Homo-oligomer: A and B are copies of this chain.
């Protein structure tokens, strides 16, 4: 049985699989090679370095985002949908998402989402400068949300998110924190994300109408 020949795609896939199963710390060239039943150095025939491999992982994850754009919809709905699509990767690839956000990729993989987003914002009436600013604001919010959502979960952290709030804090020093501890402890990421997203969209609407007024 001729084993499927090694390829960059198979290597990247194995890396993603390994990251999701055992965390980013478990990723090493030796480990990936073992996973593929292959010698370590064989990987280097398809990938120039580990760093490039991780770039490939980020690229692959990013390119799986499903953008189902509806050009007919109101621009606020389109922004909403694009933001949600972006957040989806945190569900499909929670561990790998850290890689995506913590490496600025210098490939063109992230260009299509940018193109779509800019087109949407332009169609909403924003000029170029404002569209870019808006996009950056949304990206900052989305990335920040992802970061909270996936944490870092170094390896096998017992997903329990540490109820440090509820126990060790001095109510005299931190009255607000300790009184709001139950709320701080729990976090419905979905709901939190939607809350901020709606506020941002409304802020964008307000900004748009303000520009409209001064025109």
Contacts and interface: CB of A to CB of B under 8 A. Distances in A.
Given A118-B180, A164-B108, A174-B111, A139 B148 contact: yes
A168 interface: yes
Given A119-B176, A144-B143, A183-B128, A199 B203 contact: yes
Contacts of A183: 128-129, 132
Contact of A207 (B132, B139, B147, B199): B199
Interface residues of A, number: 58
B174 A115 contact: yes
B179 A128 contact: yes
Interface stretch (A28-36, A73-81, A99-107): A99-107
Given A136-B148, A147-B143, A148-B139, A169 B111 contact: yes
A178 to B, nearest CB: 9
A155 to B, nearest CB: 10
Contact of A104 (B108, B114, B152): B152
Nearest to A204: B199
B196 A206 contact: no
Contact of A108 (B101, B112, B169, B199): B169
Given A103-B152, A148-B140, A152-B102, A132 B180 contact: yes
A210 to B, nearest CB: 9
A113 to B, nearest CB: 10
A98 interface: yes
Contacts of A168: 108
A102 B175 CA distance: 28
B177 A115 contact: yes
A204 B133 CA distance: 19
A195 interface: yes
Contacts of A192: 133, 136-137
Given A114-B176, A115-B176, A118-B180, 15 more contacts: A102-B102, A102-B147, A106-B164, A108-B168, A114-B174, A131-B176, A133-B196, A137-B141, A140-B144, A141-B141, A142-B144, A144-B147, A147-B147, A200-B203, A206-B206
